[in-house]
Amino acid sequence: MVIENDRLLRALRLEPNDRPPVWLMRQAGRYLPEYRKVRAQAGSFMDLCRNAELASEVAMQPLRRYPLDASILFSDILTIPDAMGLGLQFLSGEGPVFERPIKTLKAIESLPLPDVDQELGYVTDVLRAMRMRIGDKLPIIGFSGSPWTLACYMLEGRGTRDFSTARSWLWREPRGLQLLLDKLSTSITDYLAAQADAGADVLMLFDTWGGLLSEAHYQIFSLQPMKTIIEQLRSRHNCTLPVILFSKGCHTQISDMLKSGCAGVGVDWRIDINAALKQTRGKAALQGNLDPTVLLADADSIQTTVRTQFAEAVGQTGFIFNLGHGIMPEASPEGVTVLLEALHSMSG
């Protein structure tokens, strides 16, 4: 399918654009009153993810409000561990919790690989429903959590500040951890290939917890499995879609990420965007990296921050504007309007 607004695809191919493509991580979510309404109607967050009509509706909501250049699948990264039988729940105020976290090597050895069509078909149903609504207007980004980030939640059982239980496997049982990452890599590859078949135009790996690792461990336990996924997508599934890697807290390792076969690298707000662009220029697109907390500030601060931090970046080939992490539930929808107006006023 030829996509009408192809700024994101052009950026990922390192082709020039009239202005940088822009989308926002978590662009569909609780900061929007219309999201909260549909979410209440659906029941739980996972009920929303399993309802193709409502999930595709909330994916459209930010596109109606704002001039964004991409849509993103509405789902969550924890769908795979849930399909592996860990029993995912979202408790209010607590975030995700697994009823049956992984505690032993034996549990890893007997962990089943889910049948993607059977058990994760509800995700590709959402993608197809989104495509029906979007037509050929905008690209759709499919995604998965990275093996390391999914392993963090599966071994820890819930989100914690430092994932110390999960990280203790690095020292106590590295081979067990490796087996878990291998199983996850296989499932994630199949899951992303199914998303490609269902109409995704771009794939993204969210490695939210890569930054918890030492540089040496990052290479082995986070980056290498993501590299394997990209290789397997190409070889096993004949899937040539561009892949964006986002390892939060890992901007010191951009040069190694560029060797993974990815088309784009995402960075959080800790690195100066111009310094990051210098490293990726001519090799991959760069996505980021406005600190999402600026959306908690007044319009003037948002405007000034965007204008100063991105003055040079907006003219660069391969630059994709985004936040450095997901938009916060407390962000104001009007702040997003200010942000996009400031950004668009800077080019042409």
The residues that touch ligand CP3, with contacts defined as CB under 6 A, are 25-30, 39, 45, 72, 74, 76-78, 90, 95-96, 143, 159, 206, 208, 326
Q: Of the residues 39, 50, 131, 167, which is catalytic? A: 39
Q: Which residues contact 171 (CB under 8 A, 6 or more apart)?
A: none
| Shortest spacing between CB 329 and ligand CP3, in angstroms | 7
Active site residue 161: no
Rounded Cα–Cα distance for residues 215 and 211 (Å): 9
Closest CA to 29 of 338, 342, 340, 336: 336
Minimal distance, residue 104 CB to ligand CP3, in Å:
24
30 a catalytic residue: yes
Nearest CB to ligand CP3, comparing residues 72 and 180: 72
Among 69, 76, 190, 201, the one annotated catalytic: 76
Say how far apart CA 36 and CA 314 lie, in whole Å: 33
The answer to whether residue 153 is catalytic is: yes
Minimum CB–partner distance for residue 94 and ligand CP3 (Å): 8
Please name the amino acid found at residue 306: V
Residue facing ligand CP3 at closest CB distance: 208
| CB closer to ligand CP3, 1 vs 40 | 40
For residue 246, report the phi and psi dihedrals to the nearest 5 degrees: -125, 100
| Closest-CA residue to 189 (of 150, 162, 132) | 150
Name the CA dihedral angle for 109, 114, 115, 121, rounded to a multiple of 10 degrees.
-170
Nearer residue to ligand CP3 within complex by CB, 45 or 304: 45
Q: In whole angstroms, how far apart are CA 188 and each of 127, 136, 145? A: 16, 26, 8
For residue 331, CA distances in Å to 102, 130, 280, 334 come to: 35, 25, 30, 9
By beta-carbon proximity to ligand CP3, the closer residue of 158 and 283 is 158
Q: At closest approach, how far in Å is the CB of 258 from ligand CP3?
A: 21
Q: Is the separation of the CB atoms in 245 and 260 below 8 Å?
A: yes
Query: Catalytic: 172?
Result: no
Nearer Cβ to ligand CP3 (100/283): 100
Q: Is 36 a catalytic residue?
A: no
Q: What is the smallest separation between the CB atom of 169 and ligand CP3, expressed in angstroms?
A: 19
Catalytic residue from among 31, 66, 153, 191: 153
Catalytic residue ranges: 26, 30, 39, 76, 153
